[in-house]
Amino acid sequence: MGTHHYNLSEQFEFTGKTKILSIVGIVLGVLAIAYGFVSDQHERTFANLLLMAYYFACVCMSGAFFLAVQFVAQAGWSASILRVPQAMAKTLPIAVIILIAVMGLGLYTHNLYHHWADPELLVKDGPKYDSLIAGKSAFLNVPFFMGRQIVFLGAYSFFAIKFAQWSNQEDLHGGLNYYRKSFKNACIFLVIYGFTTPIFAFDTIMSLEAHWFSTMFGWYN
Protein backbone atom coordinates (compact mmCIF):
# COMPACT_ATOMS: atom_id res chain seq x y z
CA MET A 1 0.00 0.00 0.00
CA GLY A 2 1.47 3.35 -1.04
CA THR A 3 2.02 6.27 1.26
CA HIS A 4 1.73 9.98 0.58
CA HIS A 5 4.40 12.45 1.61
CA TYR A 6 3.66 16.12 2.03
CA ASN A 7 6.02 19.06 2.17
CA LEU A 8 4.85 20.74 5.38
CA SER A 9 7.17 23.71 4.84
CA GLU A 10 5.55 24.63 1.54
CA GLN A 11 3.99 28.09 1.56
CA PHE A 12 1.96 30.12 -0.87
CA GLU A 13 3.92 33.08 -2.23
CA PHE A 14 2.46 36.17 -3.83
CA THR A 15 4.04 36.65 -7.23
CA GLY A 16 3.43 38.58 -10.42
CA LYS A 17 0.00 40.09 -10.99
CA THR A 18 -1.41 39.04 -7.60
CA LYS A 19 1.40 40.78 -5.73
CA ILE A 20 1.03 43.96 -7.80
CA LEU A 21 -2.74 44.07 -7.25
CA SER A 22 -2.24 43.61 -3.50
CA ILE A 23 0.25 46.48 -3.34
CA VAL A 24 -2.05 48.71 -5.40
CA GLY A 25 -4.93 47.89 -3.05
CA ILE A 26 -2.83 48.78 0.00
CA VAL A 27 -1.72 52.08 -1.54
CA LEU A 28 -5.29 53.01 -2.48
CA GLY A 29 -6.45 52.17 1.04
CA VAL A 30 -3.78 54.36 2.63
CA LEU A 31 -4.64 57.22 0.26
CA ALA A 32 -8.35 56.88 1.06
CA ILE A 33 -7.64 57.05 4.80
CA ALA A 34 -5.37 60.07 4.32
CA TYR A 35 -8.06 61.81 2.25
CA GLY A 36 -10.61 61.19 4.98
CA PHE A 37 -8.47 63.01 7.53
CA VAL A 38 -7.32 65.78 5.18
CA SER A 39 -10.91 66.52 4.11
CA ASP A 40 -11.94 67.08 7.75
CA GLN A 41 -14.19 64.02 7.88
CA HIS A 42 -12.46 62.62 10.94
CA GLU A 43 -15.47 61.02 12.62
CA ARG A 44 -16.62 59.32 9.43
CA THR A 45 -13.09 58.08 8.71
CA PHE A 46 -12.71 56.66 12.21
CA ALA A 47 -16.12 54.98 11.95
CA ASN A 48 -15.07 53.23 8.74
CA LEU A 49 -11.69 52.28 10.16
CA LEU A 50 -13.41 50.79 13.20
CA LEU A 51 -15.83 48.81 11.06
CA MET A 52 -13.05 47.42 8.86
CA ALA A 53 -10.81 46.58 11.83
CA TYR A 54 -13.74 44.95 13.63
CA TYR A 55 -14.63 42.74 10.66
CA PHE A 56 -10.96 41.88 10.12
CA ALA A 57 -10.68 40.76 13.76
CA CYS A 58 -13.96 38.82 13.57
CA VAL A 59 -12.83 36.90 10.46
CA CYS A 60 -9.61 35.93 12.23
CA MET A 61 -11.54 35.01 15.39
CA SER A 62 -13.82 32.78 13.33
CA GLY A 63 -10.74 30.84 12.23
CA ALA A 64 -9.78 30.17 15.86
CA PHE A 65 -13.38 29.27 16.70
CA PHE A 66 -13.57 26.82 13.78
CA LEU A 67 -10.35 25.12 14.90
CA ALA A 68 -11.61 24.82 18.48
CA VAL A 69 -14.91 23.29 17.38
CA GLN A 70 -13.09 20.73 15.24
CA PHE A 71 -10.79 19.76 18.11
CA VAL A 72 -13.63 19.41 20.62
CA ALA A 73 -15.81 17.47 18.17
CA GLN A 74 -12.82 15.26 17.29
CA ALA A 75 -13.76 15.83 13.67
CA GLY A 76 -11.84 14.11 10.92
CA TRP A 77 -13.54 15.51 7.84
CA SER A 78 -11.88 18.92 8.21
CA ALA A 79 -8.28 17.66 8.26
CA SER A 80 -7.74 18.60 4.62
CA ILE A 81 -8.85 22.22 5.07
CA LEU A 82 -7.48 23.08 8.53
CA ARG A 83 -4.63 25.11 7.06
CA VAL A 84 -7.12 27.76 5.94
CA PRO A 85 -8.62 28.53 9.40
CA GLN A 86 -5.12 28.19 10.85
CA ALA A 87 -3.90 30.96 8.56
CA MET A 88 -6.88 33.09 9.60
CA ALA A 89 -6.22 32.41 13.29
CA LYS A 90 -2.49 33.22 13.04
CA THR A 91 -3.36 36.65 11.64
CA LEU A 92 -5.48 37.51 14.68
CA PRO A 93 -2.71 39.28 16.69
CA ILE A 94 -2.21 41.71 13.78
CA ALA A 95 -5.96 42.35 13.58
CA VAL A 96 -6.07 42.88 17.35
CA ILE A 97 -3.29 45.49 17.26
CA ILE A 98 -5.07 47.38 14.47
CA LEU A 99 -8.45 47.26 16.23
CA ILE A 100 -7.13 48.39 19.61
CA ALA A 101 -5.12 51.17 17.93
CA VAL A 102 -8.23 52.44 16.11
CA MET A 103 -10.34 52.36 19.27
CA GLY A 104 -7.65 54.00 21.36
CA LEU A 105 -7.05 56.79 18.84
CA GLY A 106 -10.79 57.23 18.35
CA LEU A 107 -11.26 57.69 22.09
CA TYR A 108 -8.27 60.03 22.38
CA THR A 109 -9.48 62.26 19.54
CA HIS A 110 -13.15 62.07 20.64
CA ASN A 111 -14.19 60.70 17.25
CA LEU A 112 -15.40 57.38 18.64
CA TYR A 113 -17.48 56.50 21.71
CA HIS A 114 -18.03 60.16 22.59
CA HIS A 115 -21.66 59.34 23.44
CA TRP A 116 -20.44 57.95 26.76
CA ALA A 117 -16.70 58.79 27.08
CA ASP A 118 -17.19 62.53 27.74
CA PRO A 119 -16.60 63.09 31.51
CA GLU A 120 -19.07 66.01 31.50
CA LEU A 121 -21.90 63.55 30.89
CA LEU A 122 -21.40 62.29 34.44
CA VAL A 123 -21.43 65.68 36.19
CA LYS A 124 -24.76 65.85 37.96
CA ASP A 125 -26.60 69.15 37.39
CA GLY A 126 -24.09 69.93 34.63
CA PRO A 127 -25.23 71.10 31.17
CA LYS A 128 -24.33 67.76 29.54
CA TYR A 129 -25.47 65.45 32.35
CA ASP A 130 -27.01 62.23 31.05
CA SER A 131 -28.67 60.04 33.66
CA LEU A 132 -28.65 56.96 31.41
CA ILE A 133 -24.93 57.23 30.69
CA ALA A 134 -24.20 58.00 34.34
CA GLY A 135 -26.02 54.82 35.31
CA LYS A 136 -23.78 52.82 33.00
CA SER A 137 -20.54 54.55 33.98
CA ALA A 138 -19.33 51.67 36.17
CA PHE A 139 -19.19 49.55 33.01
CA LEU A 140 -18.75 52.19 30.32
CA ASN A 141 -15.61 54.02 31.36
CA VAL A 142 -12.41 54.28 29.35
CA PRO A 143 -10.00 52.27 31.59
CA PHE A 144 -12.41 49.36 32.07
CA PHE A 145 -13.48 49.50 28.42
CA MET A 146 -9.94 49.33 27.02
CA GLY A 147 -8.93 46.80 29.68
CA ARG A 148 -11.71 44.45 28.61
CA GLN A 149 -10.73 44.76 24.98
CA ILE A 150 -7.07 44.00 25.68
CA VAL A 151 -7.86 41.02 27.92
CA PHE A 152 -10.48 39.48 25.62
CA LEU A 153 -8.59 40.00 22.38
CA GLY A 154 -5.32 38.98 24.01
CA ALA A 155 -6.88 35.71 25.17
CA TYR A 156 -8.33 35.01 21.72
CA SER A 157 -4.94 35.67 20.14
CA PHE A 158 -3.11 33.41 22.60
CA PHE A 159 -5.38 30.45 21.92
CA ALA A 160 -5.40 31.10 18.16
CA ILE A 161 -1.60 30.99 17.96
CA LYS A 162 -1.40 27.91 20.19
CA PHE A 163 -4.00 26.01 18.15
CA ALA A 164 -2.01 26.63 14.98
CA GLN A 165 1.30 25.70 16.64
CA TRP A 166 0.00 22.48 18.18
CA SER A 167 -1.64 21.43 14.94
CA ASN A 168 1.61 21.95 13.04
CA GLN A 169 3.59 20.08 15.71
CA GLU A 170 1.15 17.19 15.55
CA ASP A 171 1.72 16.94 11.79
CA LEU A 172 5.49 16.99 12.25
CA HIS A 173 5.88 14.65 15.23
CA GLY A 174 2.69 12.59 15.30
CA GLY A 175 1.46 10.97 18.51
CA LEU A 176 -1.31 12.17 20.80
CA ASN A 177 0.51 14.73 22.96
CA TYR A 178 -0.30 17.79 20.85
CA TYR A 179 -3.75 16.45 20.04
CA ARG A 180 -4.60 16.23 23.76
CA LYS A 181 -3.30 19.77 24.30
CA SER A 182 -5.48 21.04 21.47
CA PHE A 183 -8.54 19.23 22.77
CA LYS A 184 -8.17 20.40 26.38
CA ASN A 185 -7.45 24.01 25.51
CA ALA A 186 -10.18 24.11 22.87
CA CYS A 187 -12.70 23.21 25.58
CA ILE A 188 -11.43 26.09 27.72
CA PHE A 189 -11.38 28.49 24.77
CA LEU A 190 -14.97 27.76 23.73
CA VAL A 191 -16.26 28.54 27.23
CA ILE A 192 -14.30 31.81 27.35
CA TYR A 193 -15.30 32.68 23.79
CA GLY A 194 -18.99 31.99 24.39
CA PHE A 195 -19.16 34.26 27.43
CA THR A 196 -16.98 37.11 26.17
CA THR A 197 -17.84 37.58 22.49
CA PRO A 198 -21.25 39.17 23.24
CA ILE A 199 -19.51 41.64 25.58
CA PHE A 200 -16.91 42.27 22.88
CA ALA A 201 -19.69 43.12 20.41
CA PHE A 202 -21.50 45.28 22.98
CA ASP A 203 -18.33 47.26 23.63
CA THR A 204 -16.96 47.63 20.13
CA ILE A 205 -20.11 48.35 18.15
CA MET A 206 -23.23 48.74 20.29
CA SER A 207 -21.67 51.27 22.67
CA LEU A 208 -21.12 53.67 19.75
CA GLU A 209 -24.77 54.61 20.34
CA ALA A 210 -25.00 54.03 24.06
CA HIS A 211 -28.64 55.12 24.31
CA TRP A 212 -29.68 52.19 22.13
CA PHE A 213 -29.12 48.70 23.45
CA SER A 214 -30.25 45.11 22.99
CA THR A 215 -29.32 42.03 24.99
CA MET A 216 -29.45 40.01 21.74
CA PHE A 217 -27.01 42.26 19.87
CA GLY A 218 -23.99 40.10 20.61
CA TRP A 219 -25.46 36.94 19.14
CA TYR A 220 -27.01 38.54 16.08
CA ASN A 221 -23.84 40.50 15.47
What single letter denotes the amino acid at residue 102? Answer: V
Question: Is 33 contained in some domain?
Answer: no
- Predicted confidence at residue 9, as pLDDT, reads 64
pLDDT-derived band at 61, boundaries 50, 70, 90: very high
Whether residue 1 is predicted with pLDDT greater than 50 in this model: the reply is: no
Question: Is 30 contained in some domain?
Answer: no
Domain that holds residue 156: 42-220
Whether residue 207 is predicted with pLDDT greater than 50 in this model: the reply is: yes
Whether residue 155 is predicted with pLDDT greater than 60 in this model: the reply is: yes
Which of 40-44, 61-65, 130-134 is least confident?
Answer: 40-44
- Predicted confidence at residue 3, as pLDDT, reads 53
- Predicted confidence at residue 10, as pLDDT, reads 66
CB half-sphere exposure, 169, CA atoms < 13 A: 13
Mean pLDDT of 32-53: 87
Question: Is 174 contained in some domain?
Answer: yes
Question: Is 186 contained in some domain?
Answer: yes
Question: Is 11 contained in some domain?
Answer: no
- Predicted confidence at residue 190, as pLDDT, reads 96
Which of 59-63, 100-104, 125-129, 187-191 is least confident?
Answer: 125-129
Question: Is 143 contained in some domain?
Answer: yes
Evaluated on CA atoms 70, 53, 136, 220, the torsion sign reads negative
Distance, in Å, from the CA atom of 57 to the CA atom of 172, rounded to the nearest integer, reads: 29
- What is the domain count for the chain? 1
Helix (H, G, I), strand (E, B) or coil at 221: coil
Which of 22-36, 48-62, 191-205 is least confident?
Answer: 22-36
Whether residue 34 is predicted with pLDDT greater than 90 in this model: the reply is: no
Mean pLDDT of 136-155: 94
Q: Residue 52: name the closest of 84, 107, 98, 85 by CA.
A: 98
Whether residue 2 is predicted with pLDDT greater than 80 in this model: the reply is: no
Whether residue 94 is predicted with pLDDT greater than 80 in this model: the reply is: yes
Three-state DSSP string of 18-69: HHHHHHHHHHHHHHHHHHHHHCCCHHHHHHHHHHHHHHHHHHHHHHHHHHHH
Question: Is 100 contained in some domain?
Answer: yes
Question: Is 1 contained in some domain?
Answer: no
